[in-house]
Amino acid sequence: MQKIHNRKLFLTLPVLSWALYDFANTIFSSNITTIFFPFYVQEMAGGDERLDQIASTFLSYANAVSSFFLVLFSPLFGVWIDRTGRKKRYVMAFALAAIIFTALMGFIAPLSLGQFGGLPAAFAAVVALFVAAKFFYQSSLIFYDAMLPDISTKDTMAVLSGFGVAVGYMGTLVGLTVYPLVSKSNYADAFIPTAVLFFIFTMPMLFLYKETPDPVLEKRPFFAGYRDVWYTFKDMRRYRPIFLFMIVYFFINDAIATAIAMMAVYAKAIVGFTSGEFILLYLVSTISSIIGSFIFGYITRTVGAKKAVFYVGIILFFALLLGTFAINRPMFWVTGSLFGVALGAVWVTSRIFIIELSPKDKRGQFFGLFAFSGKLSAIVGPLIYGTITLVLADYGNIASRIALASLMLFVLAGLFIHRKIPK
């Protein structure tokens, strides 16, 4: 591997094709998870202060269900890595499934299919397809993250991680080129173009990334991942640092995953942003993410991943604090910028920290457990947020402010436990 100061490192075929998949999946994440699907849900289920809270509940529960399925299956994924030594084939399979379900969302949304449970059947079908698409998208990331040690060394890992995240967030800018294709208040128009862009930028990894499979150390039973999760929790003393970090990541990711999912509806319904203004805010937040991911790649290399994770938690707490009490657009612009920095930095710092803490022969297993912790939190956060907005819907916008404030408690819990991780 070339020296870290050699810029050509970023342009090598393995690194570039690996980073371009981050570019591709971020198009899905921004367009579907954060912007156009939330807009679509609010368009279909919202309307006034009370109905906007109900729309928030729909959105948060859909995200929680998707994460539930990921929690159910993610313990198997680490075993698949350890059994085969391969990651690329699984990234491709899950990515293509996510692309297909995203395209189906666009085909189904405009159809008139009658009623289902008091709701338009097409709307219910699109929500179900979103749950599937997000599940497959998130599943692909487990294998994608585990590819980082294959293209880096100890010295280059932090910076390459930051490079991958930064390239990924640049995908947001390309993803938003679908906005002119969206007719007035018909946000489902964005679904099929998003699937096309996701497909196009996934192709470089399929054709250009040449994988050298890891040596298969042992042939573990297919369902060994569930046993491994149980044994890891039982074997707390042996793996205490990584176990504590799983708890920290649970709380930090809880706040981040929920805020990402609810940002669009919150900005429009609570702070008063128009769709166009929110997309501009999201662009600014994305630029902040790119800057944050690059800067924290170097911060992680300088101060270590442990301290870097703590700094990210502090930034996230202040972003949520400001967002909870934002009473005008300028306050929320600052919120979006701070959240962008935290969002870009958390993937860089966490990915490096988990690699530092994991024994090499258990890395696939621990990446699966890492995802297990994060996705378990991605059930809890949206469920709490959605339940608060549902129970307090009659109080209007204050329900969403209380729901957002609840996320600060998770960040504080994560920061407290973080201090107990031994060096």
**What pLDDT, in 10s, does the model give residues 159-205?**
777 777 778 778 888 998 998 888 777 899 999 999 999 999 999 88
Q: With contact defined as beta carbons under 8 Å apart, do 14 and 160 qualify?
A: no
| Mean pLDDT, range 27-48, rounded to an integer | 87
Higher pLDDT residue, 318 or 51? 318
What pLDDT does 257 receive? 85
Q: Phi and psi at residue 197, in whole multiples of 5°? A: -65, -40
What's the rounded Cα separation, in Å, for the pair 106 and 121?
Answer: 14
What's the rounded Cα separation, in Å, for the pair 115 and 119?
Answer: 5
Strand pairing report for 115-116 and 119-120: antiparallel
- Location of structure tokens 């442990």: 306
The pLDDT of residue 4 is above 70: no
**CATH number of this structure's domain 14-208+231-418:** 1.20.1250.20
**What pLDDT, in 10s, does the model give residues 41-95?**
988 876 677 877 888 888 899 999 998 998 888 777 777 776 676 788 889 999 9
Among 30-44, 111-125, 202-216, 236-250, the range with the most confident prediction by mean pLDDT is: 30-44
pLDDT band with cut points at 50, 70 and 90 for residue 405: very high
What's the rounded Cα separation, in Å, for the pair 133 and 37?
Answer: 12
CA-wise closest residue to 306 among 262, 241, 259, 360: 241
- The alpha-carbon radius of gyration of the chain (Å, integer) is 20
What's the rounded Cα separation, in Å, for the pair 158 and 278?
Answer: 32
Distances (CA, A) of 265 to 89, 149, 336: 36, 38, 14
For the chain, the domains span 14-208+231-418
What's the rounded Cα separation, in Å, for the pair 19 and 293?
Answer: 13
Query: Quick check: pTM over 0.95?
Result: no
C-alpha dihedral sign at 408, 254, 179, 290: positive
Higher pLDDT residue, 151 or 122? 122
What's the rounded Cα separation, in Å, for the pair 254 and 381?
Answer: 5
Q: With contact defined as beta carbons under 8 Å apart, do 140 and 25 qualify?
A: yes
CA-wise closest residue to 404 among 302, 325, 313: 325
Tokens at 286, concatenated? 């994305």
**Mean of all residue pLDDT scores within the chain:** 84
Which are the contacts of 38, defined by CB distance < 8 A and separation ≥ 6? 59, 261, 262, 263, 264, 265
What's the rounded Cα separation, in Å, for the pair 323 and 326?
Answer: 5
- Location of structure tokens 């640049």: 170
What pLDDT does 1 receive? 39
- Location of structure tokens 């706040």: 255
Q: Which three-class secondary structure string do you get for 167-215?
A: HHHHHHHHHHHHHHHCCCCCHHHHHHHHHHHHHHHHHHHHHHCCCCCCC
Higher pLDDT residue, 337 or 10? 337
Other residues' Cβ atoms within 10 Å of the Cβ of residue 393: 18
What's the rounded Cα separation, in Å, for the pair 421 and 245?
Answer: 7
Q: 351 pairs with which residues across the strands?
A: none
Q: With contact defined as beta carbons under 8 Å apart, do 312 and 349 qualify?
A: yes
SS3 content of the chain, % helix, strand, coil (to 5): 80, 0, 15
- Percent of all residues in the chain with a pLDDT value above 90, rounded to a whole number: 31
The pLDDT of residue 206 is above 50: yes
The pLDDT of residue 367 is above 70: no
What's the rounded Cα separation, in Å, for the pair 308 and 364?
Answer: 23
Q: With contact defined as beta carbons under 8 Å apart, do 66 and 383 qualify?
A: no
What pLDDT does 222 receive? 63
Distances (CA, A) of 281 to 259, 260, 268: 14, 13, 11
- Location of structure tokens 């993803």: 175
Higher pLDDT residue, 218 or 57? 57
| Mean pLDDT, range 371-378, rounded to an integer | 76
- Percent of all residues in the chain with a pLDDT value above 70, rounded to a whole number: 87
The pLDDT of residue 236 is above 60: no
